[in-house]
Structure 1
Amino acid sequence: MILPGSTAQSLAAALAAQTNDSLAVPQTTRFADGEFKVRVESKDDRAVIVCSTVCSEAHIELLQLQEIASRFAEDVITVLPYMGYARQDEAFVEGEPVSARAVARAISTGTDRVITVTPHEPHVRDFFDVPCDVVDGAHMLADPLPDDLTEPLFLAPDEGATDLAGTVRDAYGIGTTDYFEKSRDRDTGSVELHPSETDVTDRDVIVTDDIIATGSTMSKAIDHLRADDVARVFAACVHPMLADNARTKLADAGVEAVFGTDTIERSATTVSVAPAIADVL
């Protein structure tokens, strides 16, 4: 049985269709003080909870679904299409928590196994106290790209993300990869991306990343591409967070389209990672 969190309804439905599992329909009651509780009437020996923890409330909903499932299912699997707090994978300043570890430990108490999709740092899987499988959703991003890309360049936000760009390129079938040079202002902490020396004149560029959050850094980098007479610019990411006015920033920078998966349900969601998750269930 697939138990969907409210943040992953489309993906849960797609996964149920892939696996032929039944799809539960949780009901939520909200109280005057802001607290809420979830109710699930369906039961099965195996419960697959699908919940993207895009906010603190989603974390609470996930814990509630796990508690419900633990009372009737012999096997509880938690699918985190998007794992919130995964980017806080170390204490960057003395006195800060390793939030990814704290979240992973809490989730581990209510499940037998975890599956997550393309975490920002792969080693977060080690924070869980139960087995954790990492599914790569990057290759899915080739599917919605236009078929007529001209000398496509798959451009990563930094050197460490070139493997992700390479995965999308390989799935698309043609093109080259490169990455932006990253620099950080020591005084303000702001990050600037500067295009590499690769000639982008009249080439289509696909800026690829695991997540697009605010879009600020990416849109500024794309401005440089425009100055270098790039042809078309697309943005592709596994997790289309697109917080606040991120989509508007990218459009203003000249991005023709943004493509993302359904790990986070947004207007940019154009492809599902359900087949990849079904393969490891």
Structure 2
Amino acid sequence: MIVLATSEGVKLGRRLAEELDAELVPVEEDRFPDGEQIVRVPPELDGTVVVVHSMSPPQDENLVKAIITLDAARENGAEEVIAVVPYMAYSRQDRRFEPGEPVSFRAVARAVSANADALITVDLHEPDTLEYFDVPAENVSAAEELGKYLAERFEGEDLVVIGPDEGARELAREVASICKTEYDHLEKKRLSGDEVEIHPKELDVEGRTVVLVDDMIDTGGTMVEAARALRDQGAGTLYAACTHALLTRNAATRLLASGFEDIIATDTIPNPFEKVSVAPPVAEAVENLSG
């Protein structure tokens, strides 16, 4: 088995190769004078080839890189190509919002399916959209690895794991179960036409170490709003955790300025706050899907 890793997937690729006891081969990358991308893989591949590449911003560019890298692996002899795309571009455009629009994620899924025998991703925005792929596809969770990290880092502290909204409640529950602590999610209560109160649904956070966890942090607006509310309710130290650290529009600066002590992210996307690797669950999925 060979693990081919692009520049967007090389850290995860290295850890994945170690988990699988496989050879890691970085993909060579270049550009034509007009800006079009070039990728090069070893010219004599065989057996199972795992291509690790994240469709992080710039998404369009990284979507093209995924397609041409997968195609290169196939054309150079791979008998089986498994695409490991820990962050999938367009996953939030998983339905038609206005008449005449495409279901963009379905189009992306079809393009990837045409060039791979199987796909593995991590904490997909809507797991049900795996059905858009025409090949076997598996969505793995970062919850266990995040939970292990939190358990070790905050051992002995009065820790609570909170989802910033109801949609993140399940992830918060899974993470909390690993680090054996309590969990909750924030809910909004409208007090008047222009006044909204945000508070944990069940738990008291006063004086406690709070980790806000979500599948992704994009602009950070939800997290900043949550931090403000939790500070008002007497929370102790605040931390932001996520699987996919997009961190667009100076989100990291905004988060740290709003009171978060640190940002805890995985290696699904290259980022400066990466502290947790999703290589273990991805390796298990590769072994499950490999023919």
Give the TM-score, by structure 1 length. 0.92
- The partner residue of 1:271 within 270, 276, 283 is 276
User: Aligned residue for 1:85?
Assistant: 90
With 247-256 and 90-99 compared, the bigger mean Cα shift is at 90-99
User: Aligned residue for 2:25?
Assistant: 24
| 1:62 and 2:66 are equivalent in the alignment | yes
Contact 2:164 2:222 in 1 (8 A): no
Contact 1:143 1:271 in 2 (8 A): no
Report the CA distance between 1:44 and its aligned residue. 2.6
Give the TM-score, by structure 2 length. 0.89
Q: How does 1:143-182 map to 2 (within 5 A)?
A: 143-145=148-150, 146-148=153-155, 150-173=157-180, 175-182=181-188
Residues 183 and 27 (structure 1), Cα distance of their counterparts in 2 relative to 1, 3 Å cut: farther
Report the CA distance between 1:229 and its aligned residue. 1.3
Q: Which amino acid aligns with 1:252?
A: A
Q: How does 1:1-281 map to 2 (within 5 A)?
A: 1-41=2-42, 43-54=45-56, 55-71=59-75, 72-145=77-150, 146-148=153-155, 150-173=157-180, 175-182=181-188, 194-197=198-201, 198-281=203-286
RMSD, aligned CA: 1.7
Report the CA distance between 1:95 and its aligned residue. 2.2
Residues 101 and 149 (structure 1), Cα distance of their counterparts in 2 relative to 1, 3 Å cut: farther
User: Aligned residue for 2:193?
Assistant: none
SS at match of 1:53: coil
Residues 182 and 61 (structure 1), Cα distance of their counterparts in 2 relative to 1, 3 Å cut: farther
How far apart, CA to CA, are the structure 1 residues paired with 2:197 and 2:135? 37
SS at match of 2:23: coil
Contact 1:139 1:167 in 2 (8 A): yes
Report the CA distance between 1:204 and its aligned residue. 1.2
Q: Deviations over 1:132-171 (max 9, x none)?
A: 0111112211233222464322111222321100111011
How far apart, CA to CA, are the structure 2 residues paired with 1:202 and 1:36? 52
Q: Which amino acid aligns with 2:5?
A: P
Report the CA distance between 1:114 and its aligned residue. 0.6
User: Aligned residue for 1:187?
Assistant: none
Q: Deviations over 1:93-118 (max 9, x none)?
A: 22222111110011000011111111
With 210-219 and 146-155 compared, the bigger mean Cα shift is at 146-155
SS at match of 1:24: strand
Report the CA distance between 1:123 and its aligned residue. 1.0
SS at match of 2:241: strand
Q: Which amino acid aligns with 1:30?
A: R
Contact 2:161 2:182 in 1 (8 A): yes
Percent identical residues: 39
How far apart, CA to CA, are the structure 2 residues paired with 1:93 and 1:183? 29
Contact 2:223 2:240 in 1 (8 A): no
Equivalent residues, number: 273
Contact 2:219 2:247 in 1 (8 A): yes
How far apart, CA to CA, are the structure 1 residues paired with 2:122 and 2:131? 14
Contact 1:215 1:242 in 2 (8 A): yes
Q: Which amino acid aligns with 2:13?
A: A
Contact 2:10 2:26 in 1 (8 A): no
How far apart, CA to CA, are the structure 2 residues paired with 1:117 and 1:182? 28
Gaps of 5+ in 1: 185-191
Q: Which amino acid aligns with 2:163?
A: A
